[in-house]
A and B are shown apart, each in its own frame.
Chain A
Amino acid sequence: MMANTVEAEGQLTPDEQKRLTSDMHRSLRRKKFRALFLVAPLLIFIMVTFVSPIATMLFRSIDNPQVSEYMPNTTAALADWDGDNNELPDEATYAALVEDLVVGRKNHTIGKAATRLNYEKSQMRSLLTGTARKAGRLKPPYKDQLIKINKGWGDIDNWRVIKRESKPYTASYYIAAFDMETTPEGEIKMLPENQRVYLKMLWRTVWMSVVITLLTLLLGYPVSYLLASLPMRVANTLMILVLLPFWTSLLVRTSSWIALLQGQGVINDILVWFGLVNDESRLSMIYNATGTVIAMTHILLPFMILPLYSVMKTIPPSYMRAARSLGATPFTAFVKVYLPQSVPGISAGAILVFILAIGYYITPALVGGQTGQFIGNMIAYHMQSSLNWGLAAALGVVLLALVLGIYALYSRLFGGNNQMTLR
Chain B
Amino acid sequence: MENSASSEAFVRFDGVQKSYDGKVLVVKDLNIDVPRGEFLTMLGPSGSGKTTSLMMLAGFETATHGDIYLDGRSINNVAPHKRGIGMVFQNYALFPHMTVAENLAFPLKVRNMGKSETEERVNKALDMVELGSFGDRRPAQLSGGQQQRVAVARALVFEPDLILMDEPLGALDKNLREQMQYEIKHIHERLGVTVVYVTHDQSEALTMSNRIAVFNDGIIQQLAPPTELYEKPTNSFVAQFIGENNKLSGILQSTQDGICTVRLPSGELVTALDINTDDIGKESTLSLRPERVFLDPVEGQCDNVFTGKVEEVIYLGDHKRVRMNVCGHDEFIVKVPNSTDHKGLQVGGTAPIGWSSKDCRALDTI
Residues of A within 8 A of B (CB): 316, 318-319, 321-330, 332-333, 336-337, 340-341, 420-423
Cβ contact within 8 Å between B93 and A324? no
Q: Which residues of A contact B154 (CB under 8 A)?
A: 326
Q: Which of B82-90, B258-266, B268-276, B293-301 contacts A (4 or more CB under 8 A)?
A: B82-90
Report the Cα distance A98→B59, complex, angstroms: 94
B80 within 8 A of A: yes
Closest B residue to A318 by beta carbon equals B93
Q: Determine whether the beta carbon of A329 is less than 8 Å from that of B81.
A: yes
Contact present for A321 and B80 (CB under 8 Å):
yes
Q: Interface residue count for B (Cβ, 8 Å)?
A: 28
Asked if B111 is at the interface of the complex by the 8 Å CB criterion, the answer is: yes
The distance in angstroms between the C-alpha atoms of A316 and B89, with both chains bound, is: 11
Contact of A325 among B85, B90, B97, B140 (CB under 8 A): B85
Q: Which of A316, A328, A340, A422 contacts B81 (CB 8 A)?
A: A328
Does any Cβ of A come within 8 Å of B158's Cβ?
yes
- Other A-B contacts than A325-B83, A327-B158, A421-B96, 12 sampled, CB-CB below 8 A, are A318-B90, A319-B93, A321-B93, A322-B87, A324-B59, A325-B80, A326-B81, A326-B87, A330-B81, A333-B81, A336-B110, A421-B97
Contact status A321-B110, CB under 8 Å: no
B residues 206-258 near A (Cβ < 8 Å) are none
Closest A residue by C-beta to B111? A327
Q: B80: which A residues are within 8 A, CB to CB?
A: 321, 324-325
Q: Given A324-B81, A326-B154, A341 and B93 touching (CB < 8 A)? A: no
Q: Point out the residues of chain A lying under 8 angstroms from B158, CB to CB.
A: 326-327
The interface residues of chain A lying within 8 Å CB-to-CB of B164 are: 325
Task: Enumerate chain B residues within 8 angstroms of A423, measured Cβ to Cβ.
Answer: 96, 140
Q: Would you mind naming 19 contact pairs between A and B with Cβ atoms under 8 Å apart? A: A316-B91, A318-B91, A318-B93, A322-B89, A323-B95, A324-B60, A324-B80, A325-B58, A325-B80, A325-B81, A325-B85, A325-B155, A326-B86, A327-B111, A327-B158, A341-B95, A341-B96, A421-B97, A423-B140
Which of A316, A319, A324, A422 lies at the interface centre, i.e. has the most chain B CB atoms within 10 A of its CB? A324
Q: Report Cα–Cα, A323/B110, bound state, in Å.
A: 10
Distance in angstroms between the alpha carbons of A337 and B81 in the assembled complex: 14
User: For A421, what are the chain B residues with a Cβ–Cβ distance below 8 Å?
Assistant: 96-97
What is the CB-to-nearest-CB distance from A275 to chain B, in angstroms, rounded to a whole number?
44
Q: Are B107 and A326 in contact (CB under 8 A)?
A: yes
Q: Which of B58-110 contact A (CB under 8 A)?
A: 58-60, 79-81, 83-87, 89-91, 93, 95-97, 106-107, 110
A373–chain B nearest beta-carbon distance, Å: 41
State in angstroms the CA–CA spacing of A340 and B97 once bound together: 7
Considering the complex, give the chain A residue whose CB is closest to the CB of B154. Answer: A326
For the complex, give the distance between the alpha carbons of A337 and B139 in Å. 14
Please name all residues of chain B whose beta carbon is closer than 8 Å to the beta carbon of A420 when the two chains form the complex.
Answer: 96-97, 138
Of listed B58, B83, B96, B140, residue having the most chain A CB within 10 A: B96
In the assembly, what is the distance between CA of A10 and CA of B81, in Å?
55
Instruction: Report the separation of the CA atoms of residues A322 and B165 in the bound assembly, to the nearest whole angstrom.
Output: 11
For the complex of A and B, list the 8 residue pairs with the smallest distance between their C-beta atoms, beginning with the closest: A322-B93, A326-B107, A325-B87, A318-B93, A324-B80, A340-B97, A328-B110, A318-B89
Give the one of A321, A322, A330, A423 with max B CB within 10 A.
A322
> Cβ of A330: which chain B residues have Cβ within 8 Å of it?
81
Residues in A with CB closer than 8 Å to B138 are 420
Inter-subunit contact B110/A332 (CB<8 Å): yes
Q: Cβ of A327 and Cβ of B84 under 8 Å apart?
A: yes
Distance of A421 Cα from B91 Cα, bound (Å): 16
Query: CB distance B106 to A336 under 8 Å?
Result: yes
A234: shortest Cβ distance to chain B, in Å? 14
Complexed CA–CA distance, A327 and B86 (Å): 9
B342 → chain A, closest Cβ, in Å?
43
Q: Bound complex: CA of A336 vs CA of B106, how far in Å?
A: 9
State whether B107 touches A327 (Cβ < 8 A).
yes
Chain B 140-169 per-residue mask, 1 if CB under 8 angstroms from chain A, else 0: 100000000000001100100000100000
Given contacts A321-B60, A421-B97, contact A326 B110 (CB under 8 A): yes
B60, A328: Cβ atoms under 8 Å?
A: no
Of B59, B80, B111, which is in contact with the most chain A CB atoms at under 10 Å from its CB?
Answer: B80
Of A319, A321, A325, the contact of B95 (CB 8 Å cutoff): A319
The docked-state distance in angstroms from the alpha carbon of A112 to that of B138 is 66
CA distance A323 to B94 in the complex (A): 9
Q: How far is the CA of A326 from the CA of B90 in the complex (A)?
A: 16
Within the complex, the shortest CB–CB distance from B155 to chain A, in Å, comes to 8
CB distance from A88 to the nearest CB of B (A): 72
- A328 nearest CB neighbor, chain B only: B110
- How far apart are the CA atoms of A5 and B154 in the complex, in Å? 48
Q: Which of B60, B95, B140 counts the most chain A CB atoms within 10 A?
A: B95
A324 to B111, CA, bound (A): 12
Minimum CB–CB distance for A320 against chain B, Å: 9
In the complex the two chains form, is B95's CB within 8 Å of A337's CB?
yes
A257 shortest CB reach to chain B, Å: 39
Min CB gap A230→B, angstroms: 15
Whole-angstrom distance between the Cβ of A205 and the nearest chain B Cβ:
34
CA distance A255 to B79 in the complex (A): 49
In whole Å, how far is A329's beta carbon from the nearest beta carbon of chain B? 6
Give the chain B neighbours of A341 by CB distance below 8 A.
95-97
List B contacts of A337 (CB < 8 A).
Answer: 95
State the CA gap A142–B155 with chains docked (Å). 98
A337 to B107, CA, bound (A): 12
Contact B96 A326 (CB under 8 A): no
Residue on A nearest B109 in the bound complex, by CB = A336
The CA of A327 and the CA of B96, in the complex, are separated in Å by: 18
Q: Which B residues are in CB contact (< 8 Å) with A328?
A: 81, 106-107, 110
Most chain B beta-carbon contacts within 10 A, residue among A318, A325, A421: A325
Cα distance A318–B151 when bound, in Å?
12
Closest B residue to A325 by beta carbon equals: B87
A423–B110 CA distance with the chains assembled, in angstroms: 25
Contacts of B107 in A (CB 8 A): 326-328
A229 vs chain B, min Cβ distance (A):
13
